[in-house]
């Protein structure tokens, strides 16, 4: 584990890199005001994921789960990307390829303008019918009653990946390919305990990438990192992109 300053090794890697991958979790959106899952203010503290973010819970109590997602959608709609999201977007000006593999469902990377996004756990702004799979992104509903499909009467659910559900195969395999080819993999704001998403940084490492963790504190995967930068991603990422801008403008 390294110091928390942006060290010489990272600077030299940033100089020689062509392809950058960002693997992001809930922590990158915390400074936008979206609660994380497992932090001290985490949403899982009050409610257990098993009770909400899984299909059986939804079938057992569709109104409760629907209400929880409406509450989270409202928070997402009232927030904006933060400096961390925008710093990631700016990497696109200086590198041949920048990919963002995110576990987040809040759409903030897209709203910050990032081009190549791989949403491993879906997107809270999308919904679909559990029976006929038609999509209902802007479905009218009162917040506490799950809506029904107007074509077949099926329950409408958020287009997110729940526990016990497979990740979108195509998106995951593309993200794996990008992880295999990247020179630097930034692991930003994630506890790194949710699989198979958490394999992505490990795949990058196995293929020779330089792994940099950006987190408030140590995590279960800190020991796998080449460098850990401790602090807020909304402060550290702008510092890094400032260094990159200076370097690239000098050359
Ligand atoms: C599946 C979407 C099987 C919904 C979520 C091994 C292999 C495969 C599966 C498993 C496995 N081991 C266990 C499993 C099962 C399970 C799993 O991983 N469980 C864990 C908890 C042990 N995985 C699954 O069920 C997956 N599906 O495997 O299906 C299968 C296979 C074949 C066929 C059929 C089925 C599906 C997992 C996806 C679950 N969906 N969310 C929703 O959002 O409502 S999970 C949820 O956790 C979010 O997606 C979130 O992104 C993800 C990870 O959490 P983090 O992003 O890391 O957030 P967290 O709060 O934990 O941490 C925040 C971090 O940020 C902290 O470290 C904090 O310090 C830091 N931070 C805070 N502020 C800042 C900051 N850092 C920097 N700056 C700041 N300002
Ligand atoms: Zn339907």
In the chain, domain spans: 1-34+81-121+168-251, 35-78+123-160
- The atom of ligand 1 lying closest to the CA of 69 is 44
Ligand 1 pocket: which of 22, 24, 25 to mutate (most atoms within 8 A of CB) = 25
Query: What is the predicted pLDDT for the residue at 1?
Result: 38
Residue 12: exposed, middle, or buried by beta-carbon count in 10 A (0-12, 13-18, 19+)?
exposed
Query: What is the predicted pLDDT for the residue at 4?
Result: 45
Q: Tell me: the pLDDT tens digits for 142-174?
A: 788 999 999 999 999 999 999 999 999 999 999
pTM, full prediction: 0.95
Cα 164 to Cα 149: distance, rounded to the nearest angstrom = 24
Query: What is the predicted pLDDT for the residue at 3?
Result: 41
The ligand placed nearest to the CA atom of residue 235 is 1
Kindly state the tokens that stand for 67: 């209400």
Domains 1-34+81-121+168-251 and 35-78+123-160 equal at CATH topology level: no
Q: Residues of the chain whose pLDDT is less than 70?
A: 1-6, 39, 41-46, 49-50
Cα of 146 from ligand 2 centre, angstroms: 13
Q: Could you list the active site residues?
A: 121
Query: What is the predicted pLDDT for the residue at 50?
Result: 65
Query: What is the predicted pLDDT for the residue at 5?
Result: 55
Query: What is the predicted pLDDT for the residue at 95?
Result: 97
- The atom of ligand 1 lying closest to the CA of 217 is 69
The ligand placed nearest to the CA atom of residue 132 is 2
CATH number belonging to the domain at 1-34+81-121+168-251, selected among 3.40.50.300, 3.30.43.10, 3.40.50.1220, 3.30.300.130:
3.40.50.1220
Ligand 1 pocket: which of 123, 195, 201 to mutate (most atoms within 8 A of CB) = 195
Domain 35-78+123-160: give its CATH code. Answer: 3.30.1600.10
């Amino acid at each position: 584990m390294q110091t928390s300053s942006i060290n010489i090794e990272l600077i030299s890697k940033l100089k020689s890199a062509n392809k950058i991958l960002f693997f992001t979790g809930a922590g990158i959106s915390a400074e936008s005001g979206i609660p994380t899952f497992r932090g001290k203010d985490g949403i899982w503290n009050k409610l257990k994921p098993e009770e909400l973010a899984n299909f059986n819970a939804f079938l057992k109590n569709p109104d409760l789960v629907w209400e929880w997602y409406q509450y989270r959608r409202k928070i997402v709609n009232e927030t904006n990307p933060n400096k961390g999201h925008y710093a990631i977007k700016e990497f696109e000006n200086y590198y041949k390829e920048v990919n963002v593999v995110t576990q987040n469902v809040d759409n903030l990377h897209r709203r910050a303008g990032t081009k190549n996004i791989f949403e491993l756990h879906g997107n809270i702004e999308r919904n679909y019918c559990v029976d006929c799979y038609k999509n209902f992104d802007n479905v009218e509903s009162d917040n506490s009653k799950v809506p029904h499909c107007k074509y077949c009467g099926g329950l409408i659910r958020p287009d997110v990946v729940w526990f016990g559900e497979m990740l979108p195969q195509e998106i995951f395999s593309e993200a794996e390919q990008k992880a295999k080819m990247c020179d630097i993999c930034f692991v930003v704001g994630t506890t790194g305990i949710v699989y198979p998403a958490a394999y992505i940084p490990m795949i990058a490492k196995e293929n020779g990438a330089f792994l940099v963790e950006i987190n408030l504190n140590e995590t279960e995967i800190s020991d796998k990192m080449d460098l850990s930068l401790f602090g807020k991603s909304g402060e550290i990422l702008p510092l890094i992109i400032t260094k990159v801008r200076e370097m690239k403008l000098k050359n």
